[in-house]
Amino acid sequence: MNLSISDLSKTYSNGVKALQNVSLDIAPGMFGLLGPNGAGKSTLMRTIATLQEPDAGSISFGEMDVLKNKDGVRRLLGYLPQEFGTYPKVSAQDLLDHFALLKGITNRKQRSETVARLLKLTNLYDVRKKALGGYSGGMKQRFGIAQALLGDPQLIIVDEPTAGLDPEERVRFHNLLSEIGEEVVVILSTHIVSDVSDLCSSMAVINKGKVVLEAKPLEAMKLLEGKVWRKLIEKSELDDHAERYQVISTRLMTGRTQIHVYGESNPGDGFEPHPPQLEDVYFATIKGYLKV
């Protein structure tokens, strides 16, 4: 089933336009939603998850009207919000069993088997009796995924799932998402570009409440072929280059600053061509250099 979002808008009471006519068509598989903090990603995720109402627009999942049939959607939904709270003195096994009961798995044997299966899937089975307060950040995120997978959901939403995780935990989390994201719709909302490039076959970039790019990552990178130029400069030269060129990004490298700029042709001045990466696409889109 596809998730179809049409002309979704939301303005908060303080006047912030969180969503402005957002339209997306998301097929089964991993879909990345990229955007800076405050872009509207969490508002969109909460709206899809039936936790808040939009001012206008529609959402359908298959034949189901998401905004009108909230109970039906919640039976098909797995959701890991950006801030996921737990009871620190309760074990993972006991809390997941409680969530399973709330999800409608009332048969004790079935519930026990489901809890054990998900704890094994998320590599938490050996620490299932440990209090959640003693879990690392990555372990808590994996527990969050375990609860999101209760009931075999057809639509899974994970909001900034790898923020704050160490590299090893991020790899584990990526592997887990890859396993579950083959036959269901999984929306990965993040500001970490590498999460999308590593995992997602389709993506969108949202900024200031608007979808500014929707594409497959490889196709998006092709849009910048021959238009990204690289140069190593001294830090003291950065302001001058920022005034003269359309700077995509900067980063420190061997004590100097590597600068990427956007240009239809070689800007000269020591710049050399650079194969575009998804990070270049993201920043060029956010800054308005790349328009589709």
User: Do 163 and 255 fall within a single domain?
Assistant: no
pLDDT of 173 strictly over 90: no
pLDDT score at 86: 77
User: Do 103 and 163 fall within a single domain?
Assistant: yes
* Rounded-to-10 torsion of CA 6, 11, 17, 18: -60
Helix (H) or strand (E) holding 241: helix 238-244
Alpha-carbon gap, residue 203 to 216, rounded angstroms: 6
Supply φ then ψ for residue 61, to 5 degrees.
-125, 105
Alpha-carbon gap, residue 13 to 66, rounded angstroms: 24
Residue 290 lies in a domain: no
User: Do 194 and 255 fall within a single domain?
Assistant: no
pLDDT of 123 strictly over 80: yes
User: Do 212 and 250 fall within a single domain?
Assistant: no
User: Tell me, what CATH number does 206's domain have?
Assistant: 3.40.50.300
- Look at residues 193, 216, 239 and tell me which one is the last residue of a structural domain: 216
User: Do 48 and 120 fall within a single domain?
Assistant: yes
pLDDT score at 103: 87
pLDDT score at 195: 87
Residue 71 lies in a domain: yes
User: Do 133 and 238 fall within a single domain?
Assistant: no
Residues 6 or more apart from 287 whose CB is under 8 A from it? Answer: 246, 248
User: Do 241 and 212 fall within a single domain?
Assistant: no
pLDDT score at 94: 95
DSSP 113-168: HHHHHHHHHTT-GGGTTSBGGG--HHHHHHHHHHHHTTT--SEEEEESTTTT--HH
Q: How confident is the model at residue 9 (pLDDT cuts 50, 70, 90)?
A: very high
pLDDT score at 81: 85
**Which whole number is the average pLDDT over 74-94?**
87
User: Do 11 and 123 fall within a single domain?
Assistant: yes
**Which whole number is the average pLDDT over 68-77?**
92
Enclosing domain of residue 166:
3-216
- Look at residues 216, 234, 257 and tell me which one is the last residue of a structural domain: 216
Q: How many domains does the chain have?
A: 2
**Which whole number is the average pLDDT over 206-210?**
95
- Look at residues 216, 235, 254 and tell me which one is the last residue of a structural domain: 216
User: Do 255 and 181 fall within a single domain?
Assistant: no
**Which whole number is the average pLDDT over 37-41?**
90
Residue 259 CA to chain centroid, in angstroms? 26
Q: pLDDT digits over 138-163, tens only?
A: 888 889 888 988 988 999 999 887 77
User: Do 88 and 155 fall within a single domain?
Assistant: yes
Residue 283 lies in a domain: no
User: Do 97 and 242 fall within a single domain?
Assistant: no
User: Do 230 and 208 fall within a single domain?
Assistant: no
Q: Are 79 and 146 spatial neighbours (Cβ–Cβ below 8 Å)? A: no
- What residues form DSSP beta bridges with 8? 22
